[in-house]
A and B are shown apart, each in its own frame.
Chain A
Amino acid sequence: MLAFFLRRVLIALPTIILISVFVFALQKLLPGDPLTVLAGEERDPEVLEFLREKYRLNDPIIVQYFTWAGNAVQGDLGISLRTNQPVTELMAQKLPVTIQLAVMSMLFALLIGIPAGILSAVKKGTVTDYVANIVALSGLSIPNFWLGIMLILLVSVKWQLLPASGYVPPGEDLWQSIRTMLMPAFVLGTALAATLMRHTRSAMLGVLSADYVRTARAKGLPERTVVLKHSFRNALTPIVTLTALLFGELVAGAVLTEQIFTIPGFGKLVVDAVFNRDYAVVQGIVLVTAVGFIVMNLIADMLYFVLNPRLRGA
């Protein structure tokens, strides 16, 4: 297992390097000079020239990349052109926010998606199945920004039950923190729940028609045991992969949801950074996100070992 793990890490390295080169090049291809925005409305030529020198934007692109990469390896991701804050510090502020949102959304998604998927597979072709499918389909098709604004207007403005937007760190006030995050997590969670439900349903359908399930039923096991213990466990492998990938996506930041609920997470940071041509910030986030994705994938692979004894020999 350790060898397997190390092999995966080694494969991941070139991926990360490629991604960083790619994003760096893409950003330089974007039209628009970051300094025309940064120098202020007056665009004083002296200020422009100073900033170009300071952020080494006069260097050839290759040199710029290697300067950045060299520092990045030493843990220095540069400073934000916009706020002068170190990128690592900016990300350290955002990462807990994004992770909290990701975890809460995932909880919503799992709590809704998996039971709904199992139910609709077991009750295939019945009203329950159709209702579950319709709900899942709406979860996928309703745009996040619309659902978000509707929820704000209803829950916050009309009923005044939850805060309309913003973020409270859990360390400051746990209860308030959860309350503030509830609506955005729900909005994100419903969309993911729909995907999870569809996958759970098809995985379960595949397993439920397998021979050993028929045997289990023939042995006279209660249906509950057949579905949850024998079938679900086997159907779990694709669901785990999906969950890990979805979680990776969540960590990359939920741009629209964060924008609407004004959550200071990764998504909002990266969007603002792109508009401001804040190169170092974009580059840093992409790097961290890519690493996050790869780690999630690794975790999914590890979980296979736990879930599927047959792999352990390999």
Chain B
Amino acid sequence: MTLLKTAMITALMGATAITAAPAMAKDLRIALQSDADVLDPDQSRTFVGRIVYASLCDKLVDITPDLEIIPQLATAWETSADGMAITMQLREGVVFHDGTPFNAEAVAANIARSQTLDESRRKSELESITGTEVTGEYEIVLTLAAPDATLMAQLADRAGMMVSPTAAEAAGADFGLNPVCSGAFSFTERVAQDKIVLTKFSDYWNADAISFDSVTFLPIPDTTVRLANLQSGDIDMIERLAATDLPQITGNADLTVDSAVSLGYQGITFNLANGERGDNPWGNDKRLRQALSHAIDREVINQVVFEGAFAAGNQSFPPTSPWYNTNFPVPARDVEKAKALLAEAGFPDGLDLEVQVPNTTVQLQLMQVVQAMASEAGIRITLASKEFATLLEDQTAGSYTASQIGWSGRVDPDGNNHPFVTTNGGINDSKYSNPAIDELLNDARIVSTTAERKAKYDEAMAIMLDELPRVFLYHEKWIWAFNNKLKGFVSYPDGMIRLENVTWEE
């Protein structure tokens, strides 16, 4: 099935390459919501940085919009029977922007860099790899400490981005000032907070699919101004259009909008056992958390705060995800049930709950709606609005009862759960601990077939939805708006902008 799909995609690529009109000198201008951080795939951590990489740095593998792993720089891969090794075949004839050839040695050097560079943020993503063995010019074997079903998804993101070993060696930790990868565009210039300019790389292995001479990314934080730039024609495409601005686009004949439900979630994280403040009714009694969940109408949140443009949600995966547990659909609001649970837990007259929330307009609106709905069930929410860095620090330190926070999401289902709810999870700010969850989520990393993994996540989700260390509220949608002349854009749930086969027709 996968093979067939890959073959079809490849055939399609070939077809469009032949029929594509002669490319005109066109600089594509894309407005981003914020400025990227350091442009080194091993050090980088921002979402917008990844959007730039989608044009700048190729990865070993990529994903389809349905989250299947497909070839990019690796053309085929095979996991050994015991799951302890992955053998990869690499694409031939690929060069980095500085002319360094791409081969198995380069992959080995990249993995070593991600694992050993002091500044690397990728260490935990690749920790299952214990060694690499170059078995041919274009063949490499990754040896693993234990079977790791999440690894290929990691290699479909920053951990799998290939940088030029020559350039990385020479620049060290300063690589990000002048990044050299092997993507469709090479780095030309960056002015902080102003622009990042990339130029078409003529030796790109898939150059026929690229029809822009250059691409310029401009950070424009204000949503109104981002849209105004698009309307005036100064910008060709914008990412993360505000849901409230959608009517302006649909009423404009020159503009198109496209969207995809993100991989992440937004919700309320509870403090169950993180320091002294975990010892409170909300942290001690799951019935209270269930009551809050019942008191909320998630569809109303979506309508009121996001004009219906996002997706209501109740799990760590959006309902559109293949990993969503369909036995637990987004529940309807049930105020009576909420009141009954409160009474059962010993609070027939209701009780107070302090929720910390980022001080941005949208998150405050969200929590005000939740506040109003919860009050009807007797839950008196007070909001502590904090600037994000402060909120995060308090959450890590356990200085909170409940925290409105989200997660940008990962391709592999592991990323949306394991770090948050396993006993030793790196960002388990709830300090939630349940041996059953630990076992299920650890096993889900090891078992190899998708069906087996899905069963583990389904089982874990049932427990998580009963104990509710996190109460999920909604899933953002990535909304792109662009000039009608831009053709062939495909939306992906990871929010990236892939320019292969995107064209500009005057």
Contacts and interface: CB of A to CB of B under 8 A. Distances in A.
Interface string B217-228: 011111011001
Interface string B247-277: 0000000000000000000000000000000
A143 B423 CA distance: 51
A165 B124 contact: no
B388 interface: yes
A179 B282 CA distance: 58
Contacts of A45: 426
A85 B176 CA distance: 9
Interface stretch (A70-78, A99-107, A216-224, A267-275): A267-275
B455 interface: no
A106 B370 CA distance: 48
Contacts of A308: none
Contact of A269 (B192, B219, B231, B408): B192
A234 interface: no
A260 B220 CA distance: 8
Band of interface residues on B? 35 or more
Contacts of A46: 123-124
B45 to A, nearest CB: 3
Interface in B191-238: 191-195, 218-222, 224-225, 228-229, 231-234
B385 to A, nearest CB: 13
Interface string A32-58: 111011111111111100110010000
A43 B427 CA distance: 7
Contacts of B123: 44, 46-47
Contact of A32 (B219, B231, B393, B426): B393
Contact of A37 (B43, B177, B191, B389): B389
B228 A157 contact: yes
A156 B227 CA distance: 11
Nearest to A258: B193
Interface string B180-199: 00000000000111110000
Nearest to A159: B232
Given A32-B387, A32-B389, A262-B219, A85 B177 contact: yes
Contacts of A90: 192
Contact of A40 (B121, B221, B229, B390): B121
A34 B233 CA distance: 38
User: Which of B195, B389, B392 has the largest number of chain A CB atoms within 10 A?
Assistant: B389
A166 to B, nearest CB: 6
A82 B43 CA distance: 10
A122 to B, nearest CB: 41
Size category of the A interface is 35 or more
Given A164-B232, A272-B193, A84 B173 contact: yes
Contacts of B124: 42, 44, 46
Given A84-B38, A149-B224, A156 B177 contact: no
B225 A38 contact: no
Interface string A127-152: 00000000000000000000001001
A269 B388 CA distance: 18
A42 B192 contact: no
A153 B227 CA distance: 10
Interface in B151-188: 173-174, 176-177
Interface in A209-254: none
A41 B45 contact: yes
A275 B45 contact: no
Interface string A60-87: 0000000000000000000010111100
Contact of B225 (A36, A42, A149, A264): A149
B275 to A, nearest CB: 16
A277 interface: yes
A149 B231 CA distance: 13
B389 A84 contact: no
Given A84-B177, A156-B228, A43 B426 contact: yes
Contacts of A31: 387, 389-390, 393
Interface of A: 31-34, 36-47, 50-51, 54, 80, 82-85, 90, 93, 149, 152-153, 156-157, 160, 163-167, 259-262, 264, 268-269, 272, 275-277
Given A43-B426, A149-B228, A157-B232, 12 more contacts: A33-B392, A33-B393, A39-B121, A44-B121, A47-B120, A84-B174, A84-B176, A84-B177, A152-B224, A165-B225, A165-B228, A262-B194
14 contacts: A31-B390, A33-B396, A40-B45, A41-B45, A41-B427, A44-B121, A93-B194, A152-B224, A153-B228, A164-B225, A166-B194, A262-B194, A262-B218, A269-B193
